[in-house]
Structure 1
Amino acid sequence: MNPITASEPVYLEDMKVGDSWRSPSREITADDVADFALLTGDNDPLHSSDAARSPFGEPVAHGLLGLSVLAGLSSEYPNAATLALVGISDWQFEAPIFFGDRVQVCTTVEQIQSHGRRSGRVTWIRQLLNQHGKVVQRGRFVTLVATRARARHLVQREPSSRKSLPAR
């Protein structure tokens, strides 16, 4: 695993194919699942106490909740100088995530391609692992990552004149 900590920004030139990081773990709770169902409107019985009759024999978290938690946990491990998420591909839901499971993310740089003069396109292999080390989800994320020169350029620019949207 890479010795770079979460607090250090990782720029394109800091990375090489094969670098990997492991995030801290996070428990998936019944409240997380209920909140996700409320947010998305996905109230499938698989995600509730009615799931005792499901193929899993107990409630499971939404697959997209797992993907969302993976995105959050991997945003700091590594703390890449990300400019944009440009794609997710080959995503597989390998095993269910049960209430109370602890998950963490293993991220590995698969490919780096230049993208203009001040950024690169990085393909990451991301795996969501449960507390037993079993892969429950896996696939590829593709992001644009800034070089140090791009980061310096962004800091030196004038503040944006765009206004934020008013609160509702």
Structure 2
Amino acid sequence: MTGSYFEDVPLEHVEETPGLTITSAHVAIYLGLTRELAADGGAVPDVLPLCFTTGLGWRVPKPPLVVLAFMGLDWQVLRSVRVGDTIMSRSRVVTKRPMRDAGVVVEEREVVDQRGEVVQRGRFTYLVAKRTKETRA
């Protein structure tokens, strides 16, 4: 299995994603999938930037974590996001706790808009695989 194992994850290393400009098409697709009611004309549903941070994470030039389980999310919406805003994600691992065959990794993540303002932030907690004899080779 390819990816970043528990042993590969550095503490406090900051990872930034490229930006993404949110369009009315993004909002329409999201509303269609979730069946949420549309708010005022240019408002972006609060969960959509959170969803985009996960997708944007696949656009950084490092292997993704070998996640065995998603353990938790603590998320705050600080400011509203509007259609036309460009967001990017900044994350860093703040805690690593080893276990026998895996480890718990806590990542702080911020969603930042084109003005450099943090619009959302929170913590993701993952159970990440440790290397096995086969993956050490």
- Could you say whether these structures have the same fold, taking a TM-score greater than 0.5 normalized by the shorter chain as the test? yes
Deviations 1:105-164 (A, max 9, x none): 1011010011322x11100000011112111100000011122228739xxxxxxxxxxx
Judge conservation of contact 1:9–1:80 (CA < 8 Å) in 2: yes
Structural mapping, 1:36-55, within 5 Å: 36-46=30-40, 49=41
Q: Report percent identity of matched pairs.
A: 29
Q: Quick one: which of 69, 76, 83 aligns to 1:84?
A: 69
2: CA distance, partners of 1:41 / 1:112? 38
Q: Which runs of 5+ in 2 are unaligned?
A: none
SS at structure 2 position matched to 1:148:
coil
Which protein is bigger by CA-based radius of gyration?
Answer: 1
Q: Which runs of 5+ in 1 are unaligned?
A: 1-7, 50-58, 154-168
For residue 73 of structure 1, what is the aligned residue in structure 2?
56
**Partner letter of residue 112 of structure 2?**
L
1: CA distance, partners of 2:44 / 2:65? 28
TM-score, reference length from structure 1? 0.72
Structural mapping, 1:1-168, within 5 Å: 9-46=3-40, 49=41, 59-75=42-58, 77=60, 79-89=64-74, 91-117=75-101, 119-149=102-132, 152=135
SS at structure 1 position matched to 2:69:
strand
TM-superposed deviation, 1:10 = 2.1
Aligned pairs, how many? 133
SS at structure 1 position matched to 2:132:
helix
Q: Which has the higher strand share?
A: 2
2: CA distance, partners of 1:81 / 1:27? 29
Q: 1:97 to 1:150 in 2, by over 3 A?
A: farther
Higher relative contact order (CA 8 A, sep 6+): 2
2: CA distance, partners of 1:70 / 1:80? 15
Q: 1:24 to 1:151 in 2, by over 3 A?
A: farther
